[in-house]
Amino acid sequence: MVKRKLRVALLVETATTYGREILEGIARYQSTRARWSTFTDERELGAAPPKWLLDRDWDGVICRTTTPELAAQILAKQIPTVDLNDLYDDLGLPRIQSDMRAIGRLAAAHLYERGFRNFAFCGFHHETWSDQRCEGFRNHLLDLGFDAAVYRSVWRGKSAPIWDVDQRQLTDWLQSLPKPLGLMACNDVRGQQILNACLASEIYVPEQVAVIGVDNNQLLCSFSDPPLSSVRPNPQRIGFESAELLDRLMSGQTCSEQLRLIEPIEVVVRASTDALGIDDDLVVEAIVLIRDLACLGISVQDLVKRLGVSRSTLERRFRQVVGHSPQQEIRVTQLRRIKTLLRTTELPLAEIASLTGFEHTEYMTVFFKRLTGIPPNTFRQELN
């Protein structure tokens, strides 16, 4: 007897890059591991679910617009459901979402590594995901001995300020902050608003204010002036894992965890953070050289020769300004490049080793495992 296809409703917005990538992850799972008949339609972010949704006989639901009311109805009907919402906690449904605090930490680390020591966060009121990104951003900075100024305004609804008013308020806030400044916007939309406010008030980006957004919306980031750096989350993995979890729930298995957080992938660096917030010209020049040449095998002794200073002078000033040694900076730069190539290419390890300054694959593998705790192949496998 041929089993019928399971009926699954996908309530995920198609109007955002994030939502579309979630759907791509679900589709990747479904194409190889599931027999589903799915319902989805073109949806805006925050659009209410169809009124007839719970009148249909669904075998399962994946939902990004889950509200307390909808969750209560789903639980009453005992429909296997995976919740992907970013606004409400503890709705009683198994939930998968981006690790918002980790996104904030990654943005803070990026700006700190660029040498900025004045920081700010620009978000939206009444948006849980924005508040959590701010929390991660500020907590990482507090651990380093810094804090961040915070600005919020309402994003959506009747109480949202008109564009001109919000831009004037943003401009006044930006002008009041110390420079050079490293600023995290809660998402790429907010990042573009910040860049517009900087342009209007003749604040130079990235020399005076370096701006990083979230979501890596490539069109929005590319059209920004200058192009916007952005934290790249992992919505495709959210989609794949939500489909995998729903499959288990529909087969009668239980879920041992109510919340699963998915780490962001990386910072995609563009011109809006392509600056160093450091007053020491020697250290700036050293970091630029390391950024350009770390994966070509540059050593600290090579730096010393190029810069025309003693090794002790470079070491001392580097530690004073950056907080670690030039050698550590070289290693961090190599590690970052290895991770990027593992995430974004199918290149064999031997070629990655060659592209990141290692003569032998074995040396790179030992180096990677020592700094991350896992071999490169395991790191790559965990991304899928």
DSSP 106-169: HHHHHHHHTT---EEEEEEET-HHHHHHHHHHHHHHHHTT--EEEEEEE-SSTTSPPHHHHHHH
Whether residue 49 has a cis bond before it, omega within 30° of 0: no
Sorted by sequence, the CB contacts under 8 Å of residue 94 that are 6+ apart come out as 81, 82, 83, 245, 249, 255, 257, 258, 260
Provide the token pair at 230: 């952005």
Residue 315, helix vs strand vs coil: helix
- Look at residue 315 in the predicted model and tell me its pLDDT: 95
Q: Kindly provide the b/e burial profile for residues 9-34, where b requires at least 16 CB atoms within 10 angstroms of the residue's own CB.
A: bbbbbbebbbbbbbbebbbbbbeeeb
Domain layout of the chain by residue ranges: 6-98+235-263, 100-233+267-273, 281-382
Query: What's the angle, vertex CA 176, arms to CA 170 and CA 182, rounded to 5?
Result: 75
- Look at residue 384 in the predicted model and tell me its pLDDT: 64
C-alpha span between 373 and 367 (Å, rounded): 10
- Look at residue 139 in the predicted model and tell me its pLDDT: 98
User: pTM surpassing 0.75?
Assistant: yes
Whether residue 180 has a cis bond before it, omega within 30° of 0: yes
Q: What is the CATH number of domain 281-382?
A: 1.10.10.60
Report residue 54: phi and psi, to 5°.
Answer: -85, 0
Second CATH level (architecture) for the domain 100-233+267-273: 3-Layer(aba) Sandwich (3.40)
User: Do 281-382 and 100-233+267-273 fall under one CATH topology?
Assistant: no
C-alpha span between 89 and 132 (Å, rounded): 12
C-alpha span between 258 and 49 (Å, rounded): 22
Report residue 153: phi and psi, to 5°.
Answer: -145, 165
- Look at residue 343 in the predicted model and tell me its pLDDT: 83
84 close to 72: Cβ distance less than 8 angstroms: no
Domain 6-98+235-263 top-level CATH class: alpha beta
183 close to 194: Cβ distance less than 8 angstroms: yes
298 close to 305: Cβ distance less than 8 angstroms: no
pLDDT along the chain (384 residues), means of 10: 81 92 95 88 80 87 93 94 92 96 97 92 95 98 96 86 88 94 97 95 89 95 94 96 95 86 94 83 86 91 95 94 90 91 90 95 95 93 76
